[in-house]
Structure 1
Amino acid sequence: MNHPFTFECQTCCPHTKARTGVFHTPHGIVETPRFMPVGTLANVKTVTPAQLAETGAQMVLANTYHLHLQPGEAIVQKAGGLHQFMNWKGPILTDSGGFQVFSLSELREINDEGVTFRSPRDGHFIHLTPEKSVEIQNALGADVIMAFDECAPYPASYDAVKTALHRTTHWLERCVKAHQRPDQALFGIVQGGVYLDLRQLSARSTIEFDLPGYAIGGVSVGEPPELIQKIVEATTPLLPFDKPRYLMGVGTYREMVQAIAAGMDLFDCVIPTRLARHANALVGGERLNLRNQKFREDFTPLDATCPCYTCRSFTRAYLSHLLRSRELLGYTLLSIHNITELVRFTQRIRASIQAGSFGEDFGRWLTLSS
């Protein structure tokens, strides 16, 4: 067990499996449940670190695969690690690169040793193994690093998913042996696709390694929401109660509420900045397209209840003008708000769990039909 990393469960909902907790890392705490913004290339798109801190974000993500391609982990290490390189003072999580590699199906070849793929940047061959993924992440220096796994696509046959699951377990063993830094927490990833018995098998195999935290991977890769909910509800209770639980790649309102009700703690998604680049604002659980005609003369704040810089300072009309003009400031202001919105959403959930009113306050999100 890595001493810099502890997780304390503080409050449990009496009606669901929702809980609040504090995850301690070398670069600060993460109060759970919590949404984590994605900073693929060591930056959250269009947002400065100071602006990001003001959103209430505590832990941010960076991507092993993309940083290996550019600028290369050696340069990040020379800079003093990711925290110094990107000037982010809080906790950082790096994913293993597995998801990105497996999404390059036409460029890759996989076997038990690892994955060989053509770089989409210059076409040269790269061989990525569990050992190499951990080596890259050790050099990047994030607080939490993820095991290299095989993320089976959706749909995939039972046999194909089972093969990927066994490979993921074998690779986890190799990741554990390769991991060199006690100031970095290695999280294992539960796979198994939509097959609940395989999820159970993967969870049992993964928790045997007694890691500082665990993730559910291979969801939100194309399957319908009701299947994601079934997977999460069936898998979460199998994960240790006294460790943080991370649902990878999920960040919509409904999916986060349902996963929190099942006992999940951490979430990440590119949604807030991606929507911003398409002129969409997250307000009160809805998406507003600010290029719509009705916002051209709307001189009210984007969200009068939101404390972010954007909502304190500008009107919907101004934001609509910027986005219609494709001014870069529009994407920045909308990203600031959208990130703040999802962080605040999980903060409100945390407060409602502590107050004992989670089911009442967020009940409308707990059913797929509402």
Structure 2
Amino acid sequence: MKFIFKNVPMSSARHGVLSSFSKFPEKIFETPLLLVSTKGGSVPHITHEVLQLITKDSHIMQFPLPSTMLSHETVKEYAKGLAHFCGLKDYLTYCTVQDPSCLTPVGYNKTTVVSVWTNIGRVSVNAEKYMKTMEAFQPDMYQILANTDTNLDSTRKKALKTLRSCQIIFDECIKRHQESEKLKNSGVIGVISGGIDLDVRKDHVKYMLEKPVSGFSIEGLHNNGADVEKMDYEKCNMVLEEILNILPEDKLRIVPGCWKPQQVLKMVELGVDMFDSSFPFIVTERMCALTFSWKSIPLDVSEVPSQNVEEEINLRDIRYKEDFGPLKKDCTCLPCRKHTRAYVYHLIESKELLASTLLMILSRPLMHHHVWGLKAY
């Protein structure tokens, strides 16, 4: 995997290209880039056939460990990798330790063990178990196992504890990676953690500088889930700016989390290359639809969007009971062309599964178009 970038004049933003993947050497991906987040090997609320219907573009699929961990032995027996097992063999894959769309419980981690929360409860994962899982999954890129159990309120003591844990686990994982034949063509993403403590984070960066990684995932800013929308973005951006300035420029930069469109725009300006699509899933789960236009999003996160700008609408609201307009004005997607707000309101009231499907078909591509539009920013 190769990453080539160029800086945007008068800005820290970057335009980059990901290429030279062993599975699809002819495919290239421009950054900023939005990953397609999955659960259990499929896009939430959308079947593989519907996904192919709504987009013909190439994508990188994100497979979080909490929803795939329990399939490890089955995928190992299948012997063709997780993407092929899930019917997504035409897509590139990126495996992550935690799921950005779900709240990760605090605690339960040890120096050499990270807790992964599956649908049957907590699973303790050490370096050996994790690398065996990655060998079974055979991803195109994967995140090194790391303890990211910090947030912007964590103490220095806890940040130092997670740093030590990350270093011990990383050394064992990278050793196994270099000895593995099945992972020799997989890109390795290192993790930078440490809460709000800049000294701890800088020590983590120094430790990672000489390591054989293809990029960095900046984590430990939050505990995932919908609460990311409510966090202090100013503190978050302060940490990001400091750390991004000392990371190697030729490495991919990823910041996971269900970030609002306005914050994604700000992080692109700071120099972040890749995000996940957990935000459209969170919006769909609360029965809302994204209706913003990326051109209407103010760059400064302290600014309040114009009152005329409707970023999302809540289709549970009774005012949409007799609203026969499209979900999003001037949109040509299938839900907006074929269905009305009143119809989706009816589906929600009737507890029909189609409601979530229609909302996801609208919101997920809209977020992708938002990030795609930032390439012209």
Counterpart code for 2:66:
Y
Offset from partner CA, 1:51-81 (integer Å, 9 cap, x none): 3343457112112233222xx2121233422
Q: Offset at 1:97? A: 4.5
Whole-Å Cα distance in 1 between the matches of residues 73 and 332 of structure 2?
A: 39
Whole-Å Cα distance in 2 between the matches of residues 98 and 338 of structure 1?
A: 19
- Alignment match of 2:256 (pick from 248, 265, 279): 248
Whether the aligned pair in 2 keeps the contact of 1:188 and 1:213 (CA below 8 Å) is: yes
User: 1:39-118 counterparts in 2 under 5 A?
Assistant: 39-53=38-52, 54-55=54-55, 58-69=59-70, 72-79=71-78, 80-88=80-88, 89-97=90-98, 103-105=104-106, 108=108, 110=110, 112-115=111-114
For residue 184 of structure 1, what is the aligned residue in structure 2?
A: 186
Q: Offset at 1:118? A: 9.1
Q: Which has the higher contact order (CA 8 A, sep 6+)?
A: 1
Q: Offset at 1:250? A: 4.0
Which 5+ residue runs of structure 1 have no aligned equivalent? 353-357, 359-370
Offset from partner CA, 1:150-194 (integer Å, 9 cap, x none): 113332210210121122122111111111212211110111110
> After TM superposition, what 4+ stretches of structure 1 lie above 4 angstroms from structure 2?
97-102, 115-120
Instruction: Give the number of aligned pairs.
Output: 341
Q: What is the DSSP-based 3-state SS (H/G/I as helix, E as strand, rest coil) of the residue aligned with 2:95?
A: strand
Counterpart code for 1:16:
S
- Under a length normalisation based on structure 2, what TM-score does the superposition of the two structures give? 0.83
Higher mean C-alpha displacement, 259-268 vs 283-292: 283-292
Whole-Å Cα distance in 1 between the matches of residues 40 and 83 of structure 2?
A: 13
Whether the aligned pair in 2 keeps the contact of 1:279 and 1:334 (CA below 8 Å) is: yes
Whole-Å Cα distance in 2 between the matches of residues 252 and 213 of structure 1?
A: 23
**Cα RMSD for the two superposed structures:** 2.5
- Alignment match of 1:235 (pick from 239, 243, 255): 243
Whole-Å Cα distance in 2 between the matches of residues 278 and 99 of structure 1?
A: 16
Q: Does 1:202 align with 2:204?
A: yes
For residue 166 of structure 2, what is the aligned residue in structure 1?
A: 168
Change in CA separation of 1:102 and 1:139 when aligned onto 2, cut-off 3 Å = farther
For residue 37 of structure 1, what is the aligned residue in structure 2?
A: 36
Change in CA separation of 1:304 and 1:38 when aligned onto 2, cut-off 3 Å = same
Change in CA separation of 1:99 and 1:292 when aligned onto 2, cut-off 3 Å = closer
Which 5+ residue runs of structure 2 have no aligned equivalent? 294-310
Q: Offset at 1:102? A: 10
- Under a length normalisation based on structure 1, what TM-score does the superposition of the two structures give? 0.84
Offset from partner CA, 1:295-349 (integer Å, 9 cap, x none): 2222222223434322232222222221222210110010111101110000111
For residue 213 of structure 2, what is the aligned residue in structure 1?
A: 211
User: What percentage of residue pairs aligned between the two structures are identical?
Assistant: 23
For residue 20 of structure 1, what is the aligned residue in structure 2?
A: 15
Change in CA separation of 1:261 and 1:173 when aligned onto 2, cut-off 3 Å = same
Change in CA separation of 1:160 and 1:183 when aligned onto 2, cut-off 3 Å = same
